[in-house]
Amino acid sequence: MTRPQSLDDLYSRFDGMHMEGGWHRKFPALWPVPEENFLPYVWHYAEVHPALDAAGDLVSTEFAERRNLTMRNPAEGNRYATVRTLVAAYQMVKPGEIAKSHRHTPNALRLILDGQGTTTTVDGKRVNMRPGDVLLTPNWAWHAHENAGTEDCYWLDFLDVPAVHLLEPMFFERHPDGLEDVVEDVENSPIAFRWEDSLASLGRSTDDAGGLCAAQIEMGSPALETIGLYMQRLAAGSTKAMRTTANSLFAVIEGQGQTVVGDVALPWARGDVIAVPAWRAYRHEAGGDAVLLRVTDKPIFEKLGWLREEIA
């Protein structure tokens, strides 16, 4: 092998070796602050609801197993995620339908929007799902959903699938029998945060998250290994602004207003989902009393020592 006689020759040799010199990278490996890749965005339940109803007529659970509509961030090149590490989806189950049992390494949770009569079974424990409830599905837990009522049921799913995609420990398995054969009905469970309990706890809370809300409660500590959940009550007016290295999704349980992310104003109402990517200054402006569920990958950043937060 001849010795390169010029930098151009040396760089050409590097290309052939699938290497590059650290002093002349085509793309930088380090930068002073987080890049702005994913975009602030809002999905409106009022627009999604008719699409889910149409899917209910055209797509059976036998065909799709889970009838859901994934919220894909409009960032260029993004194929799936809602923010970098999290994905959200709207789901609907019709009366008499069963979403069969499966399990996967991603963690998941559900926020129920509308409808009565649906249950979720997680590792043999079956609990009712009612509007305002938050239900957890820890990683590798068997889980199925059934609508034994008379109403279409709608909810929001949140999962850390994009984080699993990035780190690559993805495993998925359908239950060999379709459903678990031993099931116990329970009213109280560590996986179920009831709406009435959340409201009562919010009423007692004096934690305003440093001015980011009127009051908040944390569900679990954290709720899941990779996902933190905070129920936040807003009063009329504007909150303080924050930017954080953690990504956040906000689901509107009650009220209306807007979230301002940088110079982008995202109006919201009940059932909407707001994407706030990492290191974007944001604040909420509520038109009156409102309740939001914050879903965030903050636990990952806390575990790894990467969490930075600034409130202004």
CATH number for the domain whose boundaries are 41-171+182-194: 2.60.120.10
In one-letter notation, the amino acid at residue 153 is C
Helix (H, G, I), strand (E, B) or coil at 211: coil
Phi, psi of 219 (to 5 degrees): -95, 115
Predicted local distance difference test score (pLDDT) of residue 31: 94
Q: Are 250 and 274 in contact (CB under 8 A)?
A: yes
Cα 273 to Cα 253: distance, rounded to the nearest angstrom:
10
Q: Are 298 and 249 in contact (CB under 8 A)?
A: no
Beta strands in 94-240 (DSSP E): 98-104, 108-114, 118-122, 125-129, 134-137, 143-147, 153-159, 172-174, 184-185, 192-193, 215-219, 228-234, 237-238
Name the band, by pLDDT with cuts 50, 70 and 90, for residue 273: very high
Predicted local distance difference test score (pLDDT) of residue 240: 98
Name the band, by pLDDT with cuts 50, 70 and 90, for residue 64: low
Nearest CA to 114 out of 148, 156, 157 is that of 156
User: Is a pLDDT exceeding 70 seen at residue 175?
Assistant: yes
| Pick from 22-26, 139-143, 287-291: least confident | 22-26
Q: In percent, how much of the chain has pLDDT > 70?
A: 99
- For 260, the enclosing helix (H) or strand (E) is strand 257-261
Between the alpha carbon of residue 170 and those of residues 77, 106, 173, 223, 247, the distances in Å are 21, 7, 10, 21, 21
Q: Quickly tell me which residue has 């707001």 as its tokens.
A: 274
To the nearest whole number, what is the mean pLDDT of the chain?
A: 95
User: Is a pLDDT exceeding 80 seen at residue 15?
Assistant: yes
Q: Which of the two residues, 4 and 38, has the higher pLDDT score?
A: 38
For CATH 2.60.120.10, the residue range(s) in the chain are 41-171+182-194, 196-311
User: Is a pLDDT exceeding 80 seen at residue 257?
Assistant: yes
173: which strand partners? 103
Phi, psi of 310 (to 5 degrees): -130, 130
Q: The tokens of 117 are what?
A: 């009569």
Q: The tokens of 164 are what?
A: 């699993």
Q: The tokens of 197 are what?
A: 């309990």
Average pLDDT over residues 79-88: 98
Predicted local distance difference test score (pLDDT) of residue 221: 87
Cα dihedral value 211, 214, 215, 221, nearest 10: -40
Average pLDDT over residues 157-166: 98
How many helices (H) and strands (E) would you count in the chain? 6, 24
Cα 238 to Cα 286: distance, rounded to the nearest angstrom:
7
Predicted local distance difference test score (pLDDT) of residue 60: 76
Cα 140 to Cα 225: distance, rounded to the nearest angstrom:
12
Predicted local distance difference test score (pLDDT) of residue 63: 67
Predicted local distance difference test score (pLDDT) of residue 194: 97
* Strands 41-43 vs 273-276: parallel, antiparallel or unpaired: antiparallel
Average pLDDT over residues 179-202: 95
CB count in 10 Å sphere of residue 308: 14
Residue 297: exposed, middle, or buried by beta-carbon count in 10 A (0-12, 13-18, 19+)? buried
For 196-311, CATH number out of 2.115.10.20, 3.30.1490.100, 2.10.10.90, 2.60.120.10 equals 2.60.120.10
Name the band, by pLDDT with cuts 50, 70 and 90, for residue 305: very high
- For 283, the enclosing helix (H) or strand (E) is strand 282-286
User: Is a pLDDT exceeding 80 seen at residue 61?
Assistant: no
Predicted local distance difference test score (pLDDT) of residue 24: 84
Predicted local distance difference test score (pLDDT) of residue 59: 78
Predicted local distance difference test score (pLDDT) of residue 57: 87
CB count in 10 Å sphere of residue 154: 21
* Strands 184-185 vs 264-268: parallel, antiparallel or unpaired: unpaired
Predicted local distance difference test score (pLDDT) of residue 65: 72
Cα 292 to Cα 72: distance, rounded to the nearest angstrom:
20
Predicted local distance difference test score (pLDDT) of residue 67: 87
Average pLDDT over residues 74-81: 97
Cα 82 to Cα 158: distance, rounded to the nearest angstrom:
10
pLDDT in tens, 222-235: 999 999 999 999 99
